[in-house]
Chain A
Amino acid sequence: MILEPGILALILLSLITSGTILYALRHIVPILYAWDLKSGSEGQLQLERRTYLLSTLLTWAFVAELTSLLLLVYTAENLHERFTGAMCAAGVFNLNAFGYPALLLKLGNFLLAGCWLVLNRADNSARDYPLIRGKYLFLLVLTVPLLAEGVVLGLYLLNLQPDVITSCCGSLFGSRAVGLGSELAVWPMRPLGLVLLLAYVLNLGSGSFVLRKGRGSYLFALSGLLVLFLGISAILSFVAPYFYELPSHHCPFCLLKADYGYVGYLLCGGLLVGATAAAAVGVLQPFATRPSLRQIIPALQRRAVWLGLTLFTLCFLVATLRIITTDFTLFG
């Protein structure tokens, strides 16, 4: 293990998040089984008070979970100079077998935790705990990937060996490399760009429909997730080479460097937060007809739609502007 502030902070945050979830597990089982709002029993009133505490603790644990993704990527980028062969965060994540699984788990948990926070917000906005069982059942499901992330991230960070020679991003995301990243990197530019544009237009259209008519939430959520997947693929395939002005360099992590204006944080962060907002719109939809949520959920959905559309549009504008304004071209 390397004693680095970023690493210590990540381990601490992971312990806090996992500990909070384990603490919550102890208390949500009685809530799931014994909750009865019609009852005025002592037990029910205690459960109601306990849920205020749990909801607050879990909110902060999940906010820590979301921000720790940024810290993980930043720390990995910051550490690359310590390891032979690493040119950016890509090589640091490749230092042992747990690096990329930890990153993927963190990305997935970002989406899930973001959706839980929105669900919790909706529940807390109504007086009659309309989503109490739903949100804690969702939390039970979330427990597995969140605890898995804690374990895998711990294994990754505790097993960072300074004497290990790692691969640079050129070989990890090159055409001859093996793995999901390298496979996405060689996706053909024109069809991928076209499909991404279609997904974005679909997202824009369904988002406008949600804003005007209050319908189309599921389509907006699905198209948002599609934009995320295709957007990341596009970054690997052709957006990153346009920023580097190098046709063979597809690494998404070098975009996090100051040399490129930290544009990677904007592109990847914008896509991820936008997709989380879009997914949350779909997650809220099944509960939109509950009497106490009839006004709360549409309002939350409208805000999430605006957030998603704004971030996706910003990412598209930044990437397109670069492609248009640079002298470099991949169109032969």
Chain B
Amino acid sequence: MIRLVEVRKIFNAGRPNAHAALDGVTLTIRRSAVTVLKGPSGSGKTTLLSLIGCMARPTSGRIHLHGLDTDWLAPGEESLEITSLPERFLTGIRRRAFGFVFQQFHLVRGLSALDNVMLPALPTGASRAAIAARGMALLERFRVAGRAGNLVEHLSGGEAQRVAIARALINDPAVIIADEPTAHLDSRLSAEFMEIIATLRSEGRTVVIASHDPLVYAAPGVDAVVVVRDGRIGESGSGRTP
């Protein structure tokens, strides 16, 4: 479970162009569920995702991670408050607790699909052979193993998307964060993406997606839809989980 308490994020604080991207967000994201943050562009969805994923810090408020089954929690420790943590701790948490799928996928051009998948695991100290084996297994799972050696700029949109998902899973994270993952995909690939998300949920992973695509927030397997507007949480509802 991820719990946000009175989270505010103000860009350019104290300046004339100060902008409150998030204003007093209190929200609970259920564990092992798919939650979609729905809202128009500029509503604060991406800012919210970046705070949850430890990529940015709030101006005020706290974010707690509860009951995540990861080995970076000390024995007996049930939850972790992430906003007070210095960067040296956040790096490890970001790397091992979260997997990220970005809007533009952000695959590194000039590297092969397998190398891209392996990248987030390289700083963990695991052997390169073990990481490569894990990477190949993920590429096989998402049916792109045949393209493992190809440079990512030569992949199709669907292949790039699946490589990006494989990369997000390489460190076996408890939480998957996806920012507008279907923005550059057609309907078939978007549906395929949501099927993959449903399987991740069935594995017990928590998935948080920011999207204003109806193919995402109305998809089966979505447990909760949270409306974000003008940096505040609007009405929330259940998804169409069967």
Contacts of B87 in A (CB 8 A): 52
Which one of A22-30, A36-44, A150-158, A212-220 is at the interface? A36-44
Chain B contacts for A128, CB-based, 8 A: 84
Cα of A124 to Cα of B85 in the assembled complex, Å:
10
- Residues from chain B with a CB closer than 8 A to the CB of A292 are 74
A325 to chain B, nearest CB (A): 47
B47-84 toward A: CB 8 Å interface, digit per residue (1/0)? Answer: 00000000001111110000000000010000010011
B86 at the interface (CB under 8 A from A): yes
Give Cα distance in the complex from A37 to B85, angstroms: 11
Q: Flag if A127 contacts B61 (CB, 8 Å).
A: no
**CA–CA, A293 and B87, complex, Å:** 19
Contact, CB under 8 Å: A124 / B60: no
Query: Is B5's CB under 8 angstroms from A45's CB?
Result: no
What are the residues of chain B within 8 A of A37 when measuring CB–CB?
84
Given A40-B5, A40-B6, A127-B89: A48 and B84 within 8 A (CB)?
Answer: yes
Tally the A-B contacts, defined by beta carbons under 8 Å: 34
**A244 CB to closest chain B CB, in angstroms?**
50
Check if B59 sits within 8 Å of A42, measured CB to CB: yes
Contacts of B5 in A (CB 8 A): 40
Query: With a CB–CB cut-off of 8 A, which chain A residues contact B88?
Result: 124
Chain B residue at smallest Cβ distance from A51: B86
- Nearest residue in B to A40 (C-beta to C-beta)? B62
Interfacial chain B residues near A41, Cβ < 8 Å: 60
User: Min CB distance, A37 to chain B, in Å?
Assistant: 6
Range for the number of chain A residues in contact with chain B: 10 to 19
Q: Given the known A-B contacts A45-B83, A48-B84, A127-B80, are A40 and B89 also in contact in the complex, defined by CB atoms under 8 Å?
A: no
Q: How close is B70's CB to chain A, nearest CB, in angstroms?
A: 14
On chain B, the residues within 8 Å of A129 by CB distance are 84
Note all chain A residues with C-beta closer than 8 A to B7. Answer: 40
Give the chain B neighbours of A44 by CB distance below 8 A: 60
How far does the alpha carbon of A63 sit from the alpha carbon of B89 in the complex, in Å? 23
Mask: chain B, 1-42; 1 = CB below 8 Å from A; 0 = not: 000011110000000000000000000000000000000000
Q: Is the CB of B60 within 8 A of A42?
A: yes
Chain A's nearest CB lies how many Å from the CB of B47?
16
A52 to B84, CA, bound (A): 11
Chain A residues with Cβ below 8 Å from B57 are 45, 49
Contacting residues, chain B, for A45 (C-beta < 8 A): 57-60, 83-84
Name B90-109 residues within 8 Å CB distance of A.
Answer: none
**A45–B63 alpha-carbon span in the complex (Å):** 12
Which chain A residues (137-170) contact chain B, with CB distance < 8 Å? none
Digitize A281-312: 1 where CB-to-B-CB distance is under 8 Å, 0 elsewhere: 00000000000100000000000000000000
Interface contacts beyond A40-B58, A127-B85, A128-B84: sample of 9 additional A-B pairs, CB < 8 Å, sorted by A: A40-B61, A40-B62, A42-B60, A45-B84, A48-B84, A49-B57, A52-B86, A52-B87, A124-B88
Top 5 A-B residue pairs of the complex, sorted by shortest distance between their CB atoms? A40-B62, A42-B60, A40-B61, A52-B86, A48-B84
Can you list 5 residue pairs at the A/B interface with Cβ under 8 Å?
A: A40-B58, A42-B60, A45-B58, A45-B59, A128-B84
